[in-house]
Structure formats: C-alpha cells, structure tokens
C-alpha cells in the first residue's frame, strides 16, 4: 500500500510510476499527484512496511508507516549539487557483507572515504535526490532518495551492506567469504545524482581512488606489485605502486612472427625498435597494452578471489 493523504486524512489522487531509465531490478518508483499540491499545505505519505512489525516472522498484517511533509514553493535547479573528494587511503578494519552467518563481518582492507559536501542551494532538493557511485564503469553502491543529508552524512540504500561513500580493497586472506570489494590498484570513480523528476542521472564529480594494499603506510621505495605486466621494478611512491615501463617483454608482441624479446631496443634503452621492426616505442607500448591487458585483469581477479 502507498497512498498520499492531505491534512484531513483524505486520499489525494495519485499514480505510481517507474523511474524513467532505471533498471527494473532497482525498483525505484515515483508517486505522482494528478493535480499540483498546495504550497504551504501539509500532507502525509502512508505506506505498508512488512518489516516494521513482527509480520516478517508471524504473518500478521503489515504495519502502516506515515511520513508527513509540508509543500514548499518551486526551487531553482542549483548550478552544483555537491562537491565530492576522496580522503587519504587508510589500512584497517572494514565491515563487509558476507555470504553466510552474520550480515557483515570485519576484514582487513585498505579503504578510502568519499567526502560529500552538498551545496547550500541544493539543500532543499536533497530529500528528493538519490546518488550513485560508479567505479571503473560499474555501479559500486547507491542511496535511496534523500541518501545524502545536508551535513554530508551518506546512507546506503535500504538492505545494502556496502556504503556508497567507502571504497575498499581487501588485503590478504582473512577467511571471510562475501563482498570482495575492489581489486588493489587505481580506480576511476564517478559520482552521479538524480533529482526526482529528472529523466537521467547527472555527473557530480569524477576522481581517482588509490587502493594499494602493498603501499599504504609504507615508505617510498618499498617493493610492491602494480599488477601491470608492462612494467618492472615496482616501488611505492606516495602510497601508490608504480613501475618502470619495459619495451622488450618476452612474447608480448610479435613482429612478423618474431617475439619482441628477440628484438631488443636499439642502444639498450626504450627509445626505438631495431631496424626491420614495424613499430616505434609508442606502437609497441600500445601493442603491449592490448596484448597483456587481459593478463593484468586476470591477476587482479585472482587477487580478489584470495581475499
């Protein structure tokens, strides 16, 4: 049951419609009054919540929950909804969703918090705005509408064990199954927001998360693995693992059937290929990336599974 009522308790004719463009699995719905609401008037949303009482277990009728609100006048769309920044990575305990037993369990992980700072002009729209955090092109987590408060506190969507504002990569084998988080390394993060009534999400911020288990808290120069087959001599620098590019990795790329390792760079450096080769250093690097990238992803997935 979902119903809109006025201050006198009378039902206000409304329609429930699916949010445009959202996957049906997410289940977002809008309650749209058939006539404009009166500015300054009070209304109540009344809905049934089967888990607000013992009906989850004993089969009793679902409890009715009410939320009151007062209608305000039209609000201009803000030029900016919020700023979002990533804090310094930290190595410590993170609560993650599990496959069995308790809903969550502690694991050792490197984590990075996303600090949301809503703009003052966006505050009136926050109760009707939902947020999505996308990492490397895949949804990391979402909020319900109203999931970011004026003070920046972020609440995950109902039933989710993954916080939208905390990114993590599990470090080591802790014997806990469930949410593996992100692989160790750098990740592209996009923050999206949608105000009720919009037909699509809007990009709020784009940033990079650095989740290196090997380098957090370690001095520069500490040996690490950047999970890139096209680099060598990997070392921690400022909490990030980085290696030196190589241009003669065995079997990385063939030229006329000849492995690159058999055609060392002229002069012993990575400046050009030997006579007879068809590519410059740039050509090789692109080829190396194209050929070895699947191997890099496989290594990352393997590390994730070990978590």
Which of 162, 188, 211 represents a domain boundary (last residue)?
211
50 plus 88 within the same structural domain: no
Q: Is 226 among the domain residues?
A: no
What phi, psi does 306 have (nearest 5°)? -65, -25
* 42 and 91 in a common domain: no
Look at residue 230 and tell me if it is in a domain.
no
Question: Could you give the CA distance from residue 60 to residue 160 in angstroms, rounded to a whole number?
Answer: 25
**Would you state the structure tokens that stand for residue 248, as one six-digit string?**
């003669």
Pair 92, 161 in one domain: yes
Do 92 and 198 share a domain, yes or no?
yes
Choose one of 167, 196, 211: the last residue of a domain. 211
Report helix, strand or coil for 68: strand
Q: What is the DSSP letter of 86?
A: E
Instruction: Please check whether residues 206 and 95 belong to one and the same domain.
Output: yes
User: What are the pLDDT digits (tens) for 78-121?
Assistant: 889 999 999 999 888 888 887 665 578 888 899 999 999 999 99
The per-residue b/e assignment along 288-299, b for 16 or more CB within 10 angstroms, e otherwise, is beebbeeebeeb
* Least trusted range by pLDDT, from 41-45, 77-81, 190-194, 251-255: 251-255
Which residues constitute the domain of residue 44?
2-70
Q: Is 30 within a domain?
A: yes
Q: Give pLDDT tens digits for 4-22.
A: 999 999 999 999 888 776 6
Looking at the structure, do residues 147 and 53 belong to the same domain, yes or no?
Answer: no
Could you tell me if 131 and 204 lie in one domain?
yes
Q: Which helix (H) or strand (E) holds 47?
A: strand 42-49
204 and 87 within one domain = yes
Boundary (domain end) residue, out of 70, 90, 117? 70
Question: Residue 175 domain-assigned?
Answer: yes
Q: Assess if residue 190 is contained within a domain.
A: yes
pTM of the shown model: 0.68
The CATH number covering residue 148 comes to 2.60.40
Domain count, the chain: 3
The answer on 295 and 193 residing in a single domain is: no
Instruction: Based on the fold, state whether residues 207 and 99 are members of the same structural domain.
Output: yes
H or E segment at 291?
helix 281-306
Average pLDDT estimate for 276-304 = 37
Identify whether residues 152 and 126 lie together within a single domain. yes
Structural domain includes residue 192: yes
Q: What is the pLDDT of residues 156-188, one digit of tens each?
A: 987 788 899 999 998 876 566 788 899 888 999
Label residue 241 by pLDDT band (50, 70, 90). confident
Same domain, 57 and 87: no
């Amino acid at each position: 049951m979902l119903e809109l009522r006025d201050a006198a308790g009378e039902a206000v004719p409304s329609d429930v419609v699916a949010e445009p463009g959202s996957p049906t699995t997410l289940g977002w719905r809008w309650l749209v009054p058939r006539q404009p609401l009166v500015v300054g008037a009070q209304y109540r949303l009344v809905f049934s919540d089967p888990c607000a009482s013992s009906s989850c277990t004993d089969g009793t009728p679902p409890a009715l929950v009410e939320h009151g609100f007062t209608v305000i006048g039209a609000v201009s769309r803000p030029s900016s909804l919020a700023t979002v920044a990533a804090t310094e990575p930290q190595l410590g305990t993170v609560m993650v969703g599990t496959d069995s037993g308790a809903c969550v369990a502690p694991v050792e992980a490197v984590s990075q918090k996303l600090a949301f700072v809503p703009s003052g002009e966006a505050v009136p729209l926050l109760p009707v705005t939902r947020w999505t955090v996308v990492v490397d092109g895949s949804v990391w987590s979402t909020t319900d509408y109203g999931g970011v408060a004026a003070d920046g506190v972020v609440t995950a969507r109902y039933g989710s064990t993954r916080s939208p504002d905390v990114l993590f990569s599990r470090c080591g084998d802790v014997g806990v199954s469930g949410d593996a988080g992100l692989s160790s390394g750098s990740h592209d993060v996009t923050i999206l927001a949608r105000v009720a009534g919009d037909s699509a999400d809007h990009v709020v911020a784009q940033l990079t998360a650095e989740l290196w288990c090997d380098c957090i808290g370690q001095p520069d120069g500490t040996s690490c693995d950047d999970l890139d087959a096209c680099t060598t001599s990997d070392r921690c620098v400022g909490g990030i693992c980085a290696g030196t590019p190589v241009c003669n990795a065995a079997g990385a790329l063939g030229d006329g059937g000849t492995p690159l390792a058999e055609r060392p760079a002229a002069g012993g450096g990575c400046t050009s290929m030997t006579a007879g080769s068809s590519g410059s250093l740039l050509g090789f690097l692109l080829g190396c990336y194209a050929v070895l990238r699947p191997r890099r992803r496989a290594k990352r997935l393997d590390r994730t599974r070990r978590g």
